[in-house]
Amino acid sequence: MTLSGGFGGNIEAGWANVSKRLDWAATQYTNGTNTIERIAASDDGRIGYLVQIERVKFKVPATGADAITDYRVTMIFRREKGKWVIVHRHADSQTTKQPV
């Protein structure tokens, strides 16, 4: 499993590193909700992917201020023992075109 998180930084590999990163990311939000806009999805029964926009509304833990962050997300799945398992997730906040 690998994770390229929406906060930037290193790409994490292996469940031990990914789970630490997810635990840390959870501390960056409080009282949140999210909505998902699915852009594309496909699978061949063994491997699949999703591309989506995730809008996260939350309170910033340090200040209590309201905030919204949009992430564009790609997830890759594989079928293991009859269940879909995420093997890679990439998220970033580059939802608007950046000037060159």
Of residues 88, 86, 56, the one with CA closest to residue 71:
56
CA distance between the termini of the chain? 32
Q: Cα–Cα distance between 4 and 24 in angstroms, integer?
A: 14
Q: Which secondary-structure segment (H or E) carries 49? A: strand 47-59
Interval 25-66: pLDDT, tens: 888 888 999 999 999 999 999 999 999 999 999 999 889 999
Average pLDDT over residues 62-90: 95
Please determine, for residue 7, whether its predicted confidence score (pLDDT) is greater than 90. no
pTM as predicted = 0.80
Please determine, for residue 75, whether its predicted confidence score (pLDDT) is greater than 90. yes
Please state, rounded to an integer, the average pLDDT across all residues of the chain: 92
2-92: CATH topology is Nuclear Transport Factor 2; Chain: A, (3.10.450)
Please determine, for residue 68, whether its predicted confidence score (pLDDT) is greater than 90. yes
Average pLDDT over residues 72-88: 96
Of residues 33, 52, 34, 32, the one with CA closest to residue 42:
52
Q: Cα–Cα distance between 5 and 15 in angstroms, integer?
A: 14
B/e letters for 13-40, b = 16+ CB within 10 Å, e = fewer, are eeeeebeebeeeeeebbeeeeeeeeeee
